[in-house]
Structure 1
Amino acid sequence: MQKKVSVASTSISAEDSQLFRQSITGARPIAQDKIPPVVAPRKKKRRTDVSSKQLDENLFWFSDEFEGYVADSSTLSWVQQGDDPHLPGRLRRGEFQPQVVLDLHGLTAQQAKTELAGLLAYCDKQQFNCACVVHGKGLGILAKKVPNWLIQHPNVRAFHTAPKSWGKHGALLLVLKIAN
């Protein structure tokens, strides 16, 4: 291993100091223009896992104008016509455990609709029969829209307000059809 060689600092001679002062005579400080540096815009990250055609197919089921579900109370419950009428009660009692959870906090209605469509497509692909959608309470915008979107999708058999352990009035538990 080689030793580092240190250079001894020498003091500046009086002659060098005088020469430096003569060379900077008449110099004036530069005025700051205070223009912030330009930051190059970042490229937006694109989702590579979902093609736009597939996204359009997933969103096909959801209409914002359709309002087929009106909540009578703070507890939301719905069963698809012709299905087991006891499904919401079983969801309320916690007989179904969600295999996937979707949190919609902080999303716009359009983003939430896209994510919900993706969740239902994912559940269909993975053969999941129960999911939890956390829409939050907030202003109640998503709390009103999510049930109306869900009743439009043919794979949703039933939903009910989630038990306390899964989010209570800020979440829904869904029972989904499983394709054979």
Structure 2
Amino acid sequence: MNEEFDDNGEAEFAKLLRGVKPLQQDTLHFRPPKKSRQQIVEHKARKQAEVTFSDIYQPLLPSDGPMRWHREDTEAVEVKRLRRGDYVPEYLLDLHGMRQAEAKREIAAVIQACVREHAPCCCVMHGHGTGILKQQLPLWLAQHPDVKAFHQANKEWGGDAALLVLVDVGAHPHKR
């Protein structure tokens, strides 16, 4: 009796599925996709920016007058030359509307671009706003090993809402 039921059931089932085509099975790959060389380089730059800048570090910065700073191995006359406008910034970075993490990445990127392109000066505009970036920017710049000096920009480049940054481009001659 069971054999008759199984034979009848299979025959009916085969009759029902006579014109049905099987579905094509999708192949799913669960490995992460391979990254391009550019993505790897960008990821390293982001990681370097996060490591380079600390929010805890407090360099000795002036409390009066315009914001200015220079490394110990850099002459004070370089800060004076920044103030006078002897250096013309080749890169402009506008940080308006950015969060602190985004600003750190962009600052590291513009400094790397200056070193790569042998541009000794750049201008970083932080704006007035709530003043968070204005407070943090000098602290971050003082930590970067390629920053020789910075000074509050003159009116032409943003006034007290921007900083002119002098970048160490190595033994290459400075462009003026």
Q: TM-score, normalised by structure 2?
A: 0.71
**1:69–1:151 Cα contact (<8 Å) kept:** no
The CA RMSD over aligned residues, in Å, is 1.8
1:86 aligns with 2:86: no
Corresponding residue number in structure 1 for 2:170 = 179
- More helix as a share of residues: 2
**2:70–2:79 Cα contact (<8 Å) kept:** yes
CA distance in 1, matches of 2:77, 2:89: 18
**CA displacement at 1:123 relative to structure 2:** 1.0
Deviations 1:116-166 (A, max 9, x none): 111111111111100000001111100110000000011111100001000
Corresponding residue number in structure 2 for 1:142 = 133
CA distance in 1, matches of 2:75, 2:65: 22
Q: Which sections of structure 2, spanning at least 5 residues, go unmatched?
A: 1-37, 172-176
Flag the 1:49–1:96 CA change in 2: closer, same or farther, 3 A. farther
Question: Which aligned pairs between 1:21-32 and structure 2 lie closer than 5 A?
Answer: none
* CA radius of gyration, larger in: 1
- What SS does the aligned partner of 2:57 have? coil
Indicate which of 67, 83, 99 corresponds to 1:108: 99
Q: Which sections of structure 1, spanning at least 5 residues, go unmatched?
A: 1-46
**CA displacement at 1:111 relative to structure 2:** 0.8
Identity over aligned pairs, percent:
36
Indicate which of 115, 119, 141 corresponds to 2:110: 119
CA distance in 1, matches of 2:72, 2:144: 13
Indicate which of 50, 59, 63 corresponds to 1:59: 50
- What SS does the aligned partner of 1:174 have? strand
Indicate which of 146, 161, 172 corresponds to 2:152: 161
Aligned amino acid, residue 106 of structure 2: E
- What SS does the aligned partner of 2:144 have? coil
Flag the 1:114–1:69 CA change in 2: closer, same or farther, 3 A. farther
In the TM superposition, structure 1's runs of 4+ consecutive aligned residues that sit over 4 Å from their partners are: 47-50
**2:45–2:109 Cα contact (<8 Å) kept:** no
User: Which sits farther off after the overlay, 51-60 or 149-158?
Assistant: 51-60
Deviations 1:99-123 (A, max 9, x none): 0000000001111111111111111
Q: TM-score, normalised by structure 1?
A: 0.69
Q: How many residues align?
A: 134
